[in-house]
Every structure is written in C-alpha cells, then in structure tokens.
C-alpha cells in the first residue's frame, strides 16, 4: 500500500466478480468449486478495502439473469450464500464492517433472506466500512422499480429531476462509485449500477475472481489515482 495516496481514495468501489466458473474449469473442477473459492477472494478484498480506508464496497454477487443458470448451480449458490453469510458475520464484526444489500431480496430463498437479515441487523452499528451485496440485482430491474414507485407516489413530470429519481433507487443513501472493477478479462457492465456509474472510472483485469487479492485491489486503486476525472469539463477547468 506504500504507493497509494490516502488523500485521493475512491469513497465507493463497486466490483463485478467474474470468472469463478472458468477458474474451476482450469482446475478440472465443477463450477461450484470456483464459487466456493471465490468466497476467500471476497474475504480478502473486503478486509483489504477496509484496511486501505474505502468507505463503501459493493459486490455484484448474484444478478437477476443468474436465475436462468442450471438449477443445480443456482441451488448450490444459494446454499453457499447462506453458509457464507453465517460464517463471515464474525469477520464483519471483528473488522467493524456494516453489511447491507440491494436487489430483489424477496426472490431469494427464505433461509437466505433470514440469514441476510440477521447479519444486517447484527452489523448495523459498525462504522469502519459498509459492504453492500448486490443479490438478485440488475440495474434495469432497479430503474423500472424506481419508476413504478414514482408513479405510485403520484409524482408529476415537472417534479422529477435527477436528485428526486435517485431517492427511489436502492442506493439512495450511498454515494455513486468512483471506481468500478471487473475481473476475468470481460469488458461488459452486465446490467450493474447503470445509473450510478455514469462517471465512474472503469478498471478491467484479466485476473479471475478466485485469484483476486488485496494486491490486485491496490493495483486498481493506483490506476484510478493516475487518472484525471473531469466530469465533462476540460483539463484547464479542473486545474484552476
């Protein structure tokens, strides 16, 4: 972490964790083996982000599209989710990390909902960092859901602006991510935080998720710190 400028850290980092299945395939194992090993990468990344000083970390754990995967894999993923939340709550408490979740949580199995609710309640007063799990989440679902809520509230067109719309999103109490990381060498956003990443810096790495580490996280942050964020302005305007 020696080269990281602590005065120029992204407040919020979002990660598309990709490559578990391909990692397992290279080992001659079933896809679920890759998902199991991916849990260790989650633990290392969460601890690393907290140590560096990141305030919000959002992990894309399960998309709405993932429900269409083979039934056995989905069942295994849900079982892994339940056991991981149960086991990792102690780690979250030890590191003073608050857990939150976004997505269509009601679609998760009851057991997963219960364990998630328990962990969120237990960690609610932690203040070092907020870990947000995107579960049964997709950005299109979130945006459509926001529109439905706006209509239900009877808002008129002239009453709606960006600030109002944002209050109807799952992330209304969280700052937009300054840095989005995607692993495994894929160059897609995959329906993730489309509204929120309008001005995020994008970082793609060939590293498969089970091999992602604190060092890989530090590389992404160093790359972020080497960029000039202009938000539509010119370099000269930024430097004034």
CA gap 33, 27 in Å, rounded: 9
Residue with tokens 């709550």: 89
CA gap 169, 149 in Å, rounded: 10
Nearest to 77 by CA among 105, 39, 45: 39
SS (H, E, C) 95-151: CCEEEEEECCHHHCCHHHHHHHHHHHHHCCCCCCEEEEEEEEECHHHHHHHHHHHHH
**Of 20, 44, 66, 223, which residue is the catalytic one?**
66
Count of C-beta atoms within a 10 Å radius of residue 237: 10
Q: Is 18 an active-site residue?
A: yes
Q: Is 176 an active-site residue?
A: no
Nearest to 43 by CA among 238, 158, 213: 213
What is the helix (H) or strand (E) element at residue 162, kind and residue range?
A: helix 162-166
What is the helix (H) or strand (E) element at residue 48, kind and residue range?
A: helix 31-52
Residue with tokens 């780690």: 91
Residues classed as catalytic: 18, 66
């Amino acid at each position: 972490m020696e080269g990281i400028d602590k005065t120029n850290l992204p407040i919020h980092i979002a990660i598309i964790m990709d490559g578990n299945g391909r990692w397992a395939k290279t080992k001659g194992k079933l896809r679920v083996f890759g998902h199991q090993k991916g849990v260790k990468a989650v633990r290392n990344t969460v601890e690393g982000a907290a140590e560096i000083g990141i305030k919000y970390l959002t992990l894309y754990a399960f998309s709405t599209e993932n429900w269409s995967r083979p039934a056995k894999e989905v069942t295994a993923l849900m079982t892994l989710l339940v056991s991981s939340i149960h086991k990792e709550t102690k780690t979250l408490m030890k590191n003073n990390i608050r857990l939150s979740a976004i997505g269509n949580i009601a679609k998760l199995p009851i057991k997963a909902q219960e364990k998630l609710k328990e962990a969120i309640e237990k960690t609610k007063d932690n203040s070092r960092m907020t870990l947000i799990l995107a579960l049964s989440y997709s950005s299109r679902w979130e945006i459509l859901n926001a529109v439905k809520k706006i209509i239900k509230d009877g808002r008129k067109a002239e009453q709606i602006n960006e600030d109002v719309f944002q209050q109807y999103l799952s992330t209304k109490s969280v700052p937009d991510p300054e840095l989005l990381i995607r692993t495994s060498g894929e160059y897609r956003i995959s329906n993730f935080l489309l509204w929120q990443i309008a001005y995020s810096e994008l970082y793609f790495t060939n590293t498969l998720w089970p091999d992602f580490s604190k060092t890989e996280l530090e590389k992404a942050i160093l790359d972020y710190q080497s960029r000039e964020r202009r938000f539509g302005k010119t370099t000269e305007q930024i430097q004034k």
